[in-house]
Structure 1
Amino acid sequence: MPETAARLREAAYALFEQQGYAATTVDQIAARAGVGRSTFFRAFGSKEDVIFPDHDALVARVAARLATLGSDPGAAPIGATEAARIVLEHYLAEGDLARARYRLTATVPTLRDREVSSTTGYRRLFRDALRTWTGEDPGDDLRAEVIAGSIVTAHNHVLRRWLREDLDDAGARAALDRALGLVLASVSAAVPSAAEGAGPGSEGEDGTTVVVLRSGATIEQVLPHLREALATDRPHGRPSPA
Protein backbone atom coordinates (compact mmCIF):
# COMPACT_ATOMS: atom_id res chain seq x y z
CA MET A 1 0.00 0.00 0.00
CA PRO A 2 2.81 2.55 0.63
CA GLU A 3 3.88 2.23 -3.01
CA THR A 4 0.29 2.57 -4.19
CA ALA A 5 -0.22 5.63 -1.98
CA ALA A 6 2.94 7.21 -3.37
CA ARG A 7 1.77 6.54 -6.92
CA LEU A 8 -1.64 8.06 -6.17
CA ARG A 9 -0.02 11.10 -4.60
CA GLU A 10 2.24 11.60 -7.61
CA ALA A 11 -0.74 11.29 -9.96
CA ALA A 12 -2.79 13.72 -7.89
CA TYR A 13 -0.14 16.43 -7.83
CA ALA A 14 0.45 16.08 -11.56
CA LEU A 15 -3.26 16.59 -12.20
CA PHE A 16 -3.47 19.47 -9.75
CA GLU A 17 -0.66 21.21 -11.63
CA GLN A 18 -2.29 20.56 -15.01
CA GLN A 19 -5.94 21.37 -14.36
CA GLY A 20 -6.24 22.70 -10.82
CA TYR A 21 -7.31 21.16 -7.54
CA ALA A 22 -11.04 21.83 -7.85
CA ALA A 23 -11.28 20.37 -11.36
CA THR A 24 -9.51 17.14 -10.41
CA THR A 25 -11.66 14.19 -9.30
CA VAL A 26 -10.82 11.09 -7.32
CA ASP A 27 -11.66 8.98 -10.37
CA GLN A 28 -9.13 10.90 -12.46
CA ILE A 29 -6.43 10.46 -9.84
CA ALA A 30 -7.10 6.73 -9.58
CA ALA A 31 -7.13 6.30 -13.36
CA ARG A 32 -3.84 8.15 -13.78
CA ALA A 33 -2.26 5.99 -11.07
CA GLY A 34 -3.59 2.85 -12.73
CA VAL A 35 -5.78 1.73 -9.84
CA GLY A 36 -9.47 1.60 -9.08
CA ARG A 37 -11.57 4.04 -7.07
CA SER A 38 -11.84 1.61 -4.15
CA THR A 39 -8.05 1.36 -4.01
CA PHE A 40 -7.83 5.14 -3.74
CA PHE A 41 -10.14 5.15 -0.73
CA ARG A 42 -8.19 2.37 0.95
CA ALA A 43 -5.15 4.64 0.79
CA PHE A 44 -6.80 8.02 1.44
CA GLY A 45 -10.05 9.07 3.01
CA SER A 46 -10.61 11.95 0.60
CA LYS A 47 -8.97 14.02 -2.12
CA GLU A 48 -7.87 16.48 0.56
CA ASP A 49 -6.09 13.71 2.44
CA VAL A 50 -3.77 13.24 -0.55
CA ILE A 51 -2.41 16.71 0.26
CA PHE A 52 -1.95 16.03 3.98
CA PRO A 53 -1.25 12.27 4.10
CA ASP A 54 0.97 12.05 7.18
CA HIS A 55 -0.42 14.86 9.31
CA ASP A 56 -1.90 12.71 12.08
CA ALA A 57 1.26 10.64 12.41
CA LEU A 58 3.38 13.79 12.61
CA VAL A 59 1.15 15.31 15.29
CA ALA A 60 1.42 12.07 17.27
CA ARG A 61 5.24 12.20 17.13
CA VAL A 62 5.29 15.81 18.29
CA ALA A 63 2.79 15.08 21.07
CA ALA A 64 4.88 12.11 22.23
CA ARG A 65 7.98 14.30 22.52
CA LEU A 66 6.10 17.07 24.30
CA ALA A 67 4.63 14.54 26.74
CA THR A 68 8.12 14.02 28.17
CA LEU A 69 8.80 17.67 29.02
CA GLY A 70 8.05 17.65 32.73
CA SER A 71 8.86 20.64 34.91
CA ASP A 72 12.65 20.62 34.79
CA PRO A 73 13.70 24.17 33.81
CA GLY A 74 16.59 22.81 31.76
CA ALA A 75 14.99 19.82 30.03
CA ALA A 76 11.66 21.44 29.18
CA PRO A 77 12.97 24.06 26.72
CA ILE A 78 15.23 21.48 25.09
CA GLY A 79 12.27 19.14 24.63
CA ALA A 80 10.09 21.90 23.21
CA THR A 81 12.71 22.90 20.66
CA GLU A 82 13.28 19.26 19.71
CA ALA A 83 9.55 18.91 19.11
CA ALA A 84 9.69 21.88 16.74
CA ARG A 85 12.62 20.28 14.94
CA ILE A 86 10.58 17.11 14.40
CA VAL A 87 8.13 19.13 12.31
CA LEU A 88 10.85 20.85 10.29
CA GLU A 89 12.64 17.57 9.59
CA HIS A 90 9.37 16.07 8.36
CA TYR A 91 9.03 18.82 5.76
CA LEU A 92 12.68 18.60 4.76
CA ALA A 93 12.25 14.86 4.19
CA GLU A 94 9.25 15.53 1.96
CA GLY A 95 11.32 17.91 -0.17
CA ASP A 96 9.61 18.91 -3.42
CA LEU A 97 6.33 17.39 -2.27
CA ALA A 98 6.17 19.85 0.62
CA ARG A 99 6.90 22.74 -1.73
CA ALA A 100 4.19 21.59 -4.15
CA ARG A 101 1.74 21.48 -1.24
CA TYR A 102 2.78 25.00 -0.24
CA ARG A 103 2.02 26.30 -3.73
CA LEU A 104 -1.30 24.50 -3.72
CA THR A 105 -2.47 25.73 -0.32
CA ALA A 106 -1.63 29.29 -1.36
CA THR A 107 -4.29 29.11 -4.09
CA VAL A 108 -6.99 26.83 -2.63
CA PRO A 109 -8.92 28.39 0.29
CA THR A 110 -10.13 25.09 1.77
CA LEU A 111 -6.58 23.75 1.91
CA ARG A 112 -5.31 27.01 3.35
CA ASP A 113 -7.96 26.80 6.08
CA ARG A 114 -6.72 23.33 6.96
CA GLU A 115 -3.16 24.67 7.23
CA VAL A 116 -4.36 27.42 9.57
CA SER A 117 -6.22 24.86 11.66
CA SER A 118 -3.07 22.75 11.80
CA THR A 119 -1.05 25.69 13.12
CA THR A 120 -3.66 26.31 15.81
CA GLY A 121 -3.49 22.65 16.79
CA TYR A 122 0.29 22.78 17.20
CA ARG A 123 0.01 25.87 19.39
CA ARG A 124 -2.43 24.04 21.66
CA LEU A 125 -0.13 21.02 21.83
CA PHE A 126 2.84 23.14 22.89
CA ARG A 127 0.77 25.26 25.29
CA ASP A 128 -0.68 22.25 27.09
CA ALA A 129 2.74 20.63 27.44
CA LEU A 130 4.46 23.83 28.56
CA ARG A 131 1.98 24.42 31.38
CA THR A 132 3.80 21.78 33.42
CA TRP A 133 7.01 23.74 32.93
CA THR A 134 5.51 27.16 33.73
CA GLY A 135 3.50 25.86 36.67
CA GLU A 136 0.23 27.32 35.37
CA ASP A 137 -3.32 26.00 35.29
CA PRO A 138 -5.59 25.61 32.24
CA GLY A 139 -7.32 28.90 31.51
CA ASP A 140 -4.71 30.83 33.49
CA ASP A 141 -1.68 29.98 31.37
CA LEU A 142 -0.56 33.16 29.65
CA ARG A 143 3.13 32.31 29.85
CA ALA A 144 2.63 28.87 28.31
CA GLU A 145 0.41 30.41 25.61
CA VAL A 146 2.99 33.06 24.73
CA ILE A 147 5.91 30.62 24.67
CA ALA A 148 3.97 28.11 22.57
CA GLY A 149 2.92 30.77 20.09
CA SER A 150 6.49 32.03 19.85
CA ILE A 151 7.91 28.57 19.16
CA VAL A 152 5.32 27.80 16.47
CA THR A 153 5.73 31.23 14.87
CA ALA A 154 9.52 30.91 14.82
CA HIS A 155 9.28 27.47 13.23
CA ASN A 156 6.76 28.58 10.61
CA HIS A 157 8.85 31.63 9.70
CA VAL A 158 11.83 29.41 8.95
CA LEU A 159 9.70 26.79 7.21
CA ARG A 160 8.17 29.35 4.86
CA ARG A 161 11.63 30.57 3.87
CA TRP A 162 12.61 26.99 3.04
CA LEU A 163 9.37 26.36 1.15
CA ARG A 164 10.07 29.46 -0.97
CA GLU A 165 13.57 28.05 -1.57
CA ASP A 166 15.21 31.00 0.18
CA LEU A 167 17.04 28.41 2.32
CA ASP A 168 18.46 24.97 1.61
CA ASP A 169 18.09 22.16 4.16
CA ALA A 170 21.23 23.04 6.12
CA GLY A 171 20.30 26.71 6.09
CA ALA A 172 16.81 25.92 7.40
CA ARG A 173 18.21 23.86 10.28
CA ALA A 174 20.62 26.65 11.23
CA ALA A 175 17.90 29.30 10.92
CA LEU A 176 15.57 27.30 13.16
CA ASP A 177 18.31 26.97 15.76
CA ARG A 178 18.79 30.74 15.75
CA ALA A 179 15.05 31.41 15.81
CA LEU A 180 14.43 29.08 18.73
CA GLY A 181 17.40 30.59 20.54
CA LEU A 182 15.72 33.96 20.16
CA VAL A 183 12.48 32.55 21.55
CA LEU A 184 14.19 31.02 24.57
CA ALA A 185 15.95 34.31 25.20
CA SER A 186 12.54 35.95 25.48
CA VAL A 187 10.61 33.70 27.83
CA SER A 188 11.73 34.51 31.35
CA ALA A 189 9.17 36.16 33.61
CA ALA A 190 10.16 39.55 32.20
CA VAL A 191 11.11 40.29 28.60
CA PRO A 192 14.91 40.07 28.46
CA SER A 193 17.04 42.88 27.18
CA ALA A 194 18.54 42.41 23.71
CA ALA A 195 21.63 44.23 24.85
CA GLU A 196 25.13 43.13 23.99
CA GLY A 197 26.74 40.70 26.39
CA ALA A 198 25.24 37.94 28.45
CA GLY A 199 24.93 37.62 32.15
CA PRO A 200 23.07 35.83 34.92
CA GLY A 201 19.58 36.86 35.92
CA SER A 202 18.92 39.76 38.25
CA GLU A 203 15.78 40.44 40.25
CA GLY A 204 13.52 43.27 39.16
CA GLU A 205 11.42 45.52 41.39
CA ASP A 206 8.40 43.21 41.12
CA GLY A 207 10.39 40.11 42.02
CA THR A 208 10.61 38.80 38.48
CA THR A 209 13.88 37.77 36.93
CA VAL A 210 15.36 39.68 34.04
CA VAL A 211 17.87 37.81 31.90
CA VAL A 212 20.27 39.80 29.75
CA LEU A 213 21.31 37.89 26.64
CA ARG A 214 22.99 38.62 23.35
CA SER A 215 20.41 39.19 20.64
CA GLY A 216 22.12 36.61 18.40
CA ALA A 217 22.45 33.97 21.09
CA THR A 218 22.00 30.34 20.12
CA ILE A 219 20.00 27.78 22.09
CA GLU A 220 23.17 26.44 23.70
CA GLN A 221 24.13 29.94 24.88
CA VAL A 222 20.66 30.76 26.13
CA LEU A 223 19.83 27.63 28.12
CA PRO A 224 22.22 28.07 31.08
CA HIS A 225 20.82 31.54 31.82
CA LEU A 226 17.24 30.50 31.16
CA ARG A 227 17.63 27.44 33.40
CA GLU A 228 18.91 29.58 36.25
CA ALA A 229 16.14 32.13 35.85
CA LEU A 230 13.20 29.78 35.48
CA ALA A 231 14.33 27.51 38.31
CA THR A 232 13.53 30.32 40.75
CA ASP A 233 10.94 32.30 38.81
CA ARG A 234 7.73 30.30 39.10
CA PRO A 235 4.46 32.28 39.25
CA HIS A 236 4.17 33.89 42.69
CA GLY A 237 2.44 31.76 45.28
CA ARG A 238 2.73 28.55 43.22
CA PRO A 239 5.43 26.03 44.13
CA SER A 240 7.42 24.29 41.46
CA PRO A 241 5.81 20.95 40.53
CA ALA A 242 7.67 17.92 41.86
Structure 2
Amino acid sequence: MPAAATSRDRLVAAAFELFEGHGYDATTVDEIATRAGTGRSTFFRHFRGKEDVVLPDHEALLGRVGGRLATASPGGYEVALREAAGIVLAHYLAEGPTARARYRLASSVPAIRDREIASVQRYVRLFAQHIHRWLDTEPDGPLRAELVASAVVIAHNHVLRRWLRGETDDDAATAALLDHSLTLAVSLLRAPAEPGGTPTVVIAGDQADVEQVVQAVRAALGKKPATPGLGSS
Protein backbone atom coordinates (compact mmCIF):
# COMPACT_ATOMS: atom_id res chain seq x y z
CA MET A 1 0.00 0.00 0.00
CA PRO A 2 1.36 3.53 -0.81
CA ALA A 3 3.00 5.30 2.11
CA ALA A 4 0.54 8.19 1.67
CA ALA A 5 -2.48 5.93 2.25
CA THR A 6 -4.88 7.33 4.85
CA SER A 7 -5.99 5.44 7.93
CA ARG A 8 -9.32 4.87 6.16
CA ASP A 9 -7.54 3.35 3.17
CA ARG A 10 -5.54 1.08 5.45
CA LEU A 11 -8.66 -0.06 7.28
CA VAL A 12 -10.44 -0.90 4.04
CA ALA A 13 -7.43 -2.84 2.71
CA ALA A 14 -7.01 -4.70 6.00
CA ALA A 15 -10.70 -5.57 6.14
CA PHE A 16 -10.74 -7.09 2.67
CA GLU A 17 -7.58 -9.07 3.33
CA LEU A 18 -9.11 -10.54 6.47
CA PHE A 19 -12.54 -11.14 4.94
CA GLU A 20 -11.02 -13.05 2.04
CA GLY A 21 -8.59 -14.96 4.23
CA HIS A 22 -10.68 -15.72 7.33
CA GLY A 23 -14.25 -15.07 6.20
CA TYR A 24 -16.52 -12.12 6.87
CA ASP A 25 -18.28 -13.49 9.96
CA ALA A 26 -15.06 -14.67 11.62
CA THR A 27 -13.32 -11.30 11.28
CA THR A 28 -13.64 -8.79 14.13
CA VAL A 29 -13.27 -5.02 14.19
CA ASP A 30 -10.28 -5.38 16.52
CA GLU A 31 -8.53 -7.62 14.01
CA ILE A 32 -9.16 -5.13 11.21
CA ALA A 33 -7.81 -2.25 13.30
CA THR A 34 -4.72 -4.23 14.32
CA ARG A 35 -3.98 -5.29 10.74
CA ALA A 36 -4.31 -1.64 9.64
CA GLY A 37 -2.02 -0.41 12.43
CA THR A 38 -4.75 1.65 14.09
CA GLY A 39 -7.04 1.30 17.10
CA ARG A 40 -10.77 0.67 17.58
CA SER A 41 -11.45 4.37 18.08
CA THR A 42 -9.90 5.15 14.68
CA PHE A 43 -12.01 2.44 13.06
CA PHE A 44 -15.21 3.87 14.51
CA ARG A 45 -14.31 7.40 13.50
CA HIS A 46 -14.57 6.20 9.91
CA PHE A 47 -17.13 3.39 10.03
CA ARG A 48 -20.12 2.32 12.05
CA GLY A 49 -19.32 -1.37 11.63
CA LYS A 50 -17.96 -4.11 9.38
CA GLU A 51 -20.62 -3.57 6.72
CA ASP A 52 -19.60 0.06 6.28
CA VAL A 53 -15.93 -0.77 5.78
CA VAL A 54 -16.93 -3.01 2.86
CA LEU A 55 -19.24 -0.61 1.05
CA PRO A 56 -18.06 2.33 -1.08
CA ASP A 57 -18.64 5.84 0.22
CA HIS A 58 -22.11 6.22 -1.27
CA GLU A 59 -22.70 9.51 0.56
CA ALA A 60 -19.80 11.13 -1.28
CA LEU A 61 -20.81 9.56 -4.59
CA LEU A 62 -24.44 10.63 -4.25
CA GLY A 63 -23.25 14.14 -3.51
CA ARG A 64 -21.12 14.26 -6.64
CA VAL A 65 -23.89 12.80 -8.80
CA GLY A 66 -26.45 15.23 -7.40
CA GLY A 67 -24.08 18.13 -7.96
CA ARG A 68 -23.66 17.24 -11.65
CA LEU A 69 -27.39 16.81 -12.20
CA ALA A 70 -28.12 20.11 -10.45
CA THR A 71 -25.98 22.01 -12.99
CA ALA A 72 -27.76 20.56 -16.04
CA SER A 73 -29.16 23.20 -18.38
CA PRO A 74 -32.08 22.81 -20.81
CA GLY A 75 -30.72 21.01 -23.83
CA GLY A 76 -27.97 19.42 -21.75
CA TYR A 77 -30.00 16.94 -19.72
CA GLU A 78 -28.78 13.88 -21.61
CA VAL A 79 -25.15 14.91 -21.21
CA ALA A 80 -25.72 15.45 -17.49
CA LEU A 81 -27.21 11.97 -17.09
CA ARG A 82 -24.33 10.36 -18.97
CA GLU A 83 -21.70 12.21 -16.93
CA ALA A 84 -23.49 11.51 -13.63
CA ALA A 85 -23.61 7.77 -14.35
CA GLY A 86 -20.00 7.95 -15.47
CA ILE A 87 -18.97 9.38 -12.10
CA VAL A 88 -20.18 6.24 -10.34
CA LEU A 89 -18.64 3.84 -12.86
CA ALA A 90 -15.30 5.65 -12.71
CA HIS A 91 -15.27 5.30 -8.92
CA TYR A 92 -15.67 1.52 -9.11
CA LEU A 93 -13.09 1.19 -11.88
CA ALA A 94 -10.62 3.18 -9.78
CA GLU A 95 -11.16 0.79 -6.86
CA GLY A 96 -10.10 -2.11 -9.07
CA PRO A 97 -9.64 -5.37 -7.10
CA THR A 98 -11.37 -3.90 -4.04
CA ALA A 99 -14.60 -3.44 -5.98
CA ARG A 100 -14.44 -7.01 -7.28
CA ALA A 101 -13.73 -8.36 -3.79
CA ARG A 102 -16.80 -6.48 -2.55
CA TYR A 103 -18.87 -8.05 -5.31
CA ARG A 104 -17.77 -11.51 -4.22
CA LEU A 105 -18.64 -10.72 -0.61
CA ALA A 106 -22.06 -9.39 -1.57
CA SER A 107 -22.75 -12.70 -3.31
CA SER A 108 -22.25 -14.61 -0.06
CA VAL A 109 -23.05 -12.19 2.79
CA PRO A 110 -26.77 -11.26 2.95
CA ALA A 111 -26.19 -8.14 5.07
CA ILE A 112 -23.84 -6.65 2.46
CA ARG A 113 -26.10 -7.67 -0.41
CA ASP A 114 -29.10 -6.00 1.27
CA ARG A 115 -27.17 -2.79 1.84
CA GLU A 116 -26.07 -2.69 -1.79
CA ILE A 117 -29.64 -3.24 -2.98
CA ALA A 118 -30.82 -0.40 -0.75
CA SER A 119 -28.11 1.87 -2.17
CA VAL A 120 -29.39 1.23 -5.70
CA GLN A 121 -32.75 2.70 -4.72
CA ARG A 122 -31.05 5.81 -3.38
CA TYR A 123 -29.50 6.42 -6.80
CA VAL A 124 -32.84 5.85 -8.52
CA ARG A 125 -34.52 8.39 -6.21
CA LEU A 126 -31.75 10.93 -6.78
CA PHE A 127 -31.93 10.65 -10.58
CA ALA A 128 -35.73 10.74 -10.47
CA GLN A 129 -35.72 13.90 -8.33
CA HIS A 130 -33.80 15.83 -10.96
CA ILE A 131 -35.49 14.32 -14.01
CA HIS A 132 -38.92 15.16 -12.55
CA ARG A 133 -37.76 18.75 -12.29
CA TRP A 134 -36.87 18.68 -15.98
CA LEU A 135 -39.88 16.82 -17.41
CA ASP A 136 -42.92 17.16 -15.13
CA THR A 137 -44.56 19.92 -17.21
CA GLU A 138 -44.21 17.94 -20.46
CA PRO A 139 -46.64 15.33 -21.85
CA ASP A 140 -46.37 12.16 -19.72
CA GLY A 141 -43.48 13.91 -17.96
CA PRO A 142 -43.87 12.34 -14.49
CA LEU A 143 -44.06 8.82 -15.95
CA ARG A 144 -41.14 9.41 -18.30
CA ALA A 145 -39.08 10.76 -15.41
CA GLU A 146 -39.57 7.57 -13.40
CA LEU A 147 -38.82 5.38 -16.42
CA VAL A 148 -35.66 7.27 -17.35
CA ALA A 149 -34.34 7.31 -13.78
CA SER A 150 -34.78 3.56 -13.40
CA ALA A 151 -33.38 2.87 -16.86
CA VAL A 152 -30.22 4.93 -16.26
CA VAL A 153 -29.44 3.06 -13.04
CA ILE A 154 -30.23 -0.32 -14.62
CA ALA A 155 -27.99 0.50 -17.61
CA HIS A 156 -25.14 1.52 -15.30
CA ASN A 157 -25.48 -1.57 -13.12
CA HIS A 158 -25.64 -3.88 -16.13
CA VAL A 159 -22.28 -2.57 -17.34
CA LEU A 160 -20.78 -2.50 -13.85
CA ARG A 161 -21.72 -6.13 -13.15
CA ARG A 162 -20.07 -7.23 -16.40
CA TRP A 163 -16.87 -5.52 -15.29
CA LEU A 164 -17.11 -6.89 -11.74
CA ARG A 165 -17.46 -10.43 -13.10
CA GLY A 166 -14.38 -9.93 -15.27
CA GLU A 167 -16.31 -10.13 -18.55
CA THR A 168 -14.71 -6.82 -19.54
CA ASP A 169 -11.30 -5.65 -18.31
CA ASP A 170 -10.52 -2.68 -20.50
CA ASP A 171 -11.68 0.57 -18.90
CA ALA A 172 -12.18 2.32 -22.23
CA ALA A 173 -14.30 -0.55 -23.55
CA THR A 174 -16.34 -0.55 -20.35
CA ALA A 175 -16.96 3.20 -20.65
CA ALA A 176 -17.99 2.73 -24.29
CA LEU A 177 -20.44 0.00 -23.26
CA LEU A 178 -21.94 2.36 -20.67
CA ASP A 179 -22.33 5.03 -23.33
CA HIS A 180 -24.18 2.57 -25.58
CA SER A 181 -26.39 1.36 -22.74
CA LEU A 182 -27.29 4.91 -21.72
CA THR A 183 -28.31 5.72 -25.29
CA LEU A 184 -31.12 3.21 -24.82
CA ALA A 185 -31.88 4.38 -21.29
CA VAL A 186 -32.32 8.10 -22.01
CA SER A 187 -34.51 7.78 -25.11
CA LEU A 188 -37.63 8.87 -23.20
CA LEU A 189 -36.07 12.20 -22.30
CA ARG A 190 -37.51 13.31 -25.62
CA ALA A 191 -41.29 13.33 -25.83
CA PRO A 192 -42.63 10.60 -28.17
CA ALA A 193 -43.94 11.81 -31.52
CA GLU A 194 -47.69 12.30 -31.76
CA PRO A 195 -49.52 9.38 -33.41
CA GLY A 196 -50.64 9.73 -36.98
CA GLY A 197 -47.35 10.32 -38.74
CA THR A 198 -46.85 12.72 -41.66
CA PRO A 199 -49.97 13.55 -43.70
CA THR A 200 -50.06 12.43 -47.33
CA VAL A 201 -50.98 15.10 -49.91
CA VAL A 202 -52.48 14.09 -53.26
CA ILE A 203 -52.90 16.62 -56.09
CA ALA A 204 -55.51 15.78 -58.73
CA GLY A 205 -56.13 17.64 -61.98
CA ASP A 206 -59.30 19.60 -62.65
CA GLN A 207 -60.66 16.89 -64.97
CA ALA A 208 -60.21 13.99 -62.54
CA ASP A 209 -63.44 12.29 -61.51
CA VAL A 210 -64.07 10.76 -58.08
CA GLU A 211 -62.84 7.31 -59.12
CA GLN A 212 -59.57 8.75 -60.43
CA VAL A 213 -59.03 10.65 -57.15
CA VAL A 214 -59.69 7.49 -55.13
CA GLN A 215 -57.21 5.56 -57.25
CA ALA A 216 -54.60 8.32 -56.77
CA VAL A 217 -55.10 8.34 -53.00
CA ARG A 218 -54.81 4.54 -52.84
CA ALA A 219 -51.61 4.65 -54.85
CA ALA A 220 -50.14 7.37 -52.63
CA LEU A 221 -50.93 5.36 -49.52
CA GLY A 222 -49.48 2.22 -51.06
CA LYS A 223 -52.81 0.44 -51.17
CA LYS A 224 -53.96 -1.76 -54.03
CA PRO A 225 -57.38 -1.16 -55.61
CA ALA A 226 -60.16 -3.03 -53.87
CA THR A 227 -60.89 -6.40 -55.42
CA PRO A 228 -64.60 -7.24 -55.75
CA GLY A 229 -65.61 -10.20 -53.67
CA LEU A 230 -68.20 -11.49 -51.23
CA GLY A 231 -70.34 -8.63 -49.91
CA SER A 232 -69.49 -6.19 -52.70
CA SER A 233 -72.26 -4.74 -54.87
The TM-score with structure 2 as length reference comes to 0.76
* 1:131 counterpart letter in structure 2: H
- The aligned residue for residue 103 of structure 1 is 104
Q: 1:187: Cα distance to partner?
A: 4.5
Question: Given that residues 78 and 189 in structure 2 are in contact (C-alpha distance below 8 angstroms), is that contact kept between their aligned partners in structure 1?
Answer: no
- After superposition, the Cα gap between the structure-2 partners of 1:185 and 1:23, relative to the gap in structure 1 and judged at 3 Å, is same
In structure 2, C-alpha distance between the alignment counterparts of 1:107 and 1:22, rounded to whole Å:
11
Task: Look at both structures and tell me which one has the larger radius of gyration over its CA atoms.
Answer: 2
Task: Report the counterpart of residue 235 of structure 1 in structure 2.
Answer: none
CA contact (8 A) 1:8 1:40 kept: yes
1:185-224 correspondence runs (5 A): 185-190=187-192, 203-205=194-196
Matched, 1:83 2:74: no
**Contiguous gaps of at least 5 residues in structure 2:** 198-233
Query: Which range moves more in the overlay, 179-188 or 46-55?
Result: 179-188
- Matched residue, 1:24: 27
Counterpart of 1:173 in structure 2 is 175
How many Å apart are 1:205 and its aligned residue?
Answer: 3.5
Structure 1 unaligned spans of 5+ = 191-201, 207-242
Residue equivalent to 2:221: none
**For residue 146 of structure 2, what is the aligned residue in structure 1?**
145
Could you tell me which residue of structure 2 aligns to residue 69 of structure 1? 72
Counterpart residue identity of residue 175, structure 2: R
Partners of 2:72 and 2:196 lie apart in 1 by 31
- The 2-side partners of 1:103 and 1:25 are apart by 19
- Structure 1 residues 59-88: Cα deviation after superposition (integer angstroms, max 9, x where no partner): 100011111224x1x211111111011111
- Indicate the residue corresponding to 2:202 in structure 1: none
CA shift at 1:136, angstroms?
4.5
Among 51, 55, 59, the alignment partner of 2:54 is 51
Letter of the structure 2 residue corresponding to residue 52 of structure 1: L
Normalising by structure 1, report the TM-score: 0.73
How many residues were matched structurally?
191
**Following the alignment from structure 1 to structure 2, what is the Cα–Cα distance between the partners of residues 61 and 36?**
30
Q: Which has the higher contact order (CA 8 A, sep 6+)?
A: 1
| AA partner of residue 7 (structure 1) | R
Q: Distance in 2 between matches of 1:36 and 1:48?
A: 18
Contact 2:151 2:186 in 1 (8 A): no
Change (3 A) 1:8 1:130: same
1:109-148 pair list within 5 angstroms: 109-136=110-137, 141-148=142-149
Cα distance in 1 between the residues matched to 2:40 and 2:29: 7
The letter of the residue matching 1:125 is: L
- String of CA shifts for 1:45-69, please: whole Å, max 9, x gaps: 2211111242211110001111122
Q: For 2:85, what is the secondary structure of its paired residue?
A: helix
Q: What is the distance in 2 between the residues matched to 1:119 and 1:25?
A: 27
Please give the secondary structure, in 2, of the residue aligned with 1:141.
Answer: helix
Contact map agreement 1:127 1:145 (CA 8 A) in 2 = yes
> Which residue, out of 172, 180, 184, partners 1:182?
184
For residues 154-175 of structure 1, what are the alpha-carbon distances to aligned partners after superposition, in whole Å with 9 as ceiling and x for unaligned?
Answer: 0100000011111121111010
Distance 1:119 1:88, change over 3 A: same
Change beyond 3 A, Cα 1:53–1:175: closer
Say if 2:6 is the partner of 1:15: no
